[in-house]
Amino acid sequence: MHPKRLAIKDFTYELPDERIAKYPLPERDSSKLLIFKEGQITEDVYRNIDQFLPSDSLLLFNNTRVVEARLLFQKATGASIEIFCLEPHAHYPDITTAMSQKGSVQWMCLVGGFSKWKAGQILEKSISHAGGHIELRARYLEKIGDSFSIELSWSPANLSFAEVLHLAGMIPLPPYIKRQAEASDAKRYQTIYARTEGSVAAPTAGLHFTESLFEKLNAKNIQRSYVTLHVGAGTFQPVKSEHMEGHPMHAEFIDVPTTLIQQILEYTNKPITVVGTTSLRTVESLYWLGVKTILQPGIEPAALEINQWDAYELEADDISVEYALTSLLQYMKKQEWDRIITKTRLLITPGYRIRIPQALVTNFHQPQSTLLLLVAAFIGKQWKSIYQYAMEHEFRFLSYGDGCLLFRQQAFS
């Protein structure tokens, strides 16, 4: 059956609100860890995850950094308007370029209280900080789909947009954490290795890792490397259609250097573990980008991105990981790229064959979400018994909750 025909009702479970973690535990690596391997479920805590990962393996993380994407403006009348910065306008080639803009930038946003924002009215916000003062302005340009094109400008103009958000914005906690962001979230809703600014949600599987845990991994010669996928608000978008055919998969930017692709090639006969669904989507997207360079050798750089159904409609049965990644590297060399920056809409659902990692570290995900579909694709129908076990054994769910280490089954059955 084509994944388009999958019924989302088959990927649900009962999640009481009290099981959703509203705050992280005091120590990152003290969260509970469910281990699923060869059909068996055991449990431990994250600080001992090194005991369950094979020596001489590769661990891949997503090093994106959450930006303070929520901007709150207050009109003279006292009415509040909230601007939630989703992604840069399409005329910027990537998020990094948009985040580095100085003086002004155009961004696609959600706007809370838009009905209170009159046409032509410029919203203003003053921010005092240790280094001085910022005047921030917002101007509505146009509505595009479900979001709004907003021009943000500021003075002093020598500040980058990333710096402005850091000083003027707030961390956007997921909607199911039903509280306002607090000062502690600025640190705890980031991984300790977050580097590249651009996400509006954290790659939460990595929130559990600490420097002391990294030392344990080093002792087992477990190598660590990093990809970048900037997590968009679409990651929280519920599947509202009856079948997956009616669900538009959100696009997210990925940024991967040639050195990482070469390293994956070196580990094709060794164990690879990805930390988080975003890391999984990134490395699997690399495979499909390589497939496209094989099937369409003259493809233009601007067209080299992954669409929602590519993995199910491109003829790739005979294309190995080695062949695909080698072809991608050759294409990048021809373009004189030292990294690939593009968009992926890769939808991983039951029916998808995982190509690269053997294991996945991930949190527990919302019912009827594309993230739960990904877990089902990775380990099969056993996802139901795993989630039932987690529910019965007091695991905490979603972004600030506990997690699991899942070893891949050979087929979805």
Residue 411 — pLDDT band, cuts 50, 70, 90?
very low
- Count of beta carbons in the 10 Å neighbourhood of residue 222: 20
Say yes or no to pLDDT of 348 above 70: yes
Residues 300 and 287 in one domain: yes
Residues 346 and 199 in one domain: yes
Alpha helix stretches (DSSP H) within 256-379: 258-266, 277-295, 310-313, 321-335, 370-379
Residues 225 and 293 in one domain: yes
List pLDDT tens digits, range 236-273. 777 889 999 999 998 899 999 999 999 999 999 999 99
List pLDDT tens digits, range 19-29. 999 999 999 99
Residues 323 and 359 in one domain: yes
pLDDT of residue 410: 54
Structural domain of 129: 69-170
Question: Phi/psi at 50 (nearest 5 deg)?
Answer: -60, -30
Distance separating alpha carbons of residues 129 and 164, to the nearest angstrom: 11
Closest CA relative to residue 8, chosen from 373, 377, 382, 310: 373
Residues 162 and 290 in one domain: no
Reported as type and span, the H/E element at residue 98 is helix 95-99
In whole numbers, what is the pLDDT of the chain averaged over residues?
94
pLDDT of residue 132: 85
Residues 322 and 252 in one domain: yes
What tokens does 223 get? 């190598």
Asked whether residue 45 is domain-assigned, the answer is yes
Distance separating alpha carbons of residues 305 and 295, to the nearest angstrom: 14
Asked whether residue 179 is domain-assigned, the answer is no
Instruction: From residue 115, give the alpha-carbon distance in Å to each of 86, 136, 140, 386.
Output: 19, 21, 12, 45
List pLDDT tens digits, range 351-372. 999 999 999 999 999 999 999 9
Say yes or no to pLDDT of 413 above 50: no
Asked whether residue 123 is domain-assigned, the answer is yes
Residues 109 and 212 in one domain: no
Residues 61 and 74 in one domain: no
DSSP per-residue string spanning 355-382:
-S-SEEEEE---TT-HHHHHHHHHHGGG
Residues 379 and 245 in one domain: yes
List pLDDT tens digits, range 189-243. 999 999 999 999 999 999 999 999 999 999 999 999 999 999 987 777 778 899 9
Asked whether residue 413 is domain-assigned, the answer is no
Distance separating alpha carbons of residues 172 and 170, to the nearest angstrom: 6
Number of domains present in the structure of the chain = 2
Residues 79 and 211 in one domain: no
- The enclosing domain of 391 has a CATH number of 3.40.1780.10
Question: Phi/psi at 14 (nearest 5 deg)?
Answer: -85, 120
Distance separating alpha carbons of residues 314 and 295, to the nearest angstrom: 9
Terminal-residue alpha carbon distance, the chain: 13
Asked whether residue 266 is domain-assigned, the answer is yes
Question: Phi/psi at 325 (nearest 5 deg)?
Answer: -70, -35
> 170, 201, 232: which is the final residue of a domain?
170
Closest CA relative to residue 342, chosen from 226, 251, 250: 251
pTM attached to this predicted model = 0.93
- Count of beta carbons in the 10 Å neighbourhood of residue 270: 13
Q: Which residues have CB under 8 Å from 218's CB, separation 6+? A: none
Distance separating alpha carbons of residues 289 and 295, to the nearest angstrom: 10
Residues 245 and 351 in one domain: yes
Residues 202 and 271 in one domain: yes
Placement of tokens 């009215």 in the chain: 121
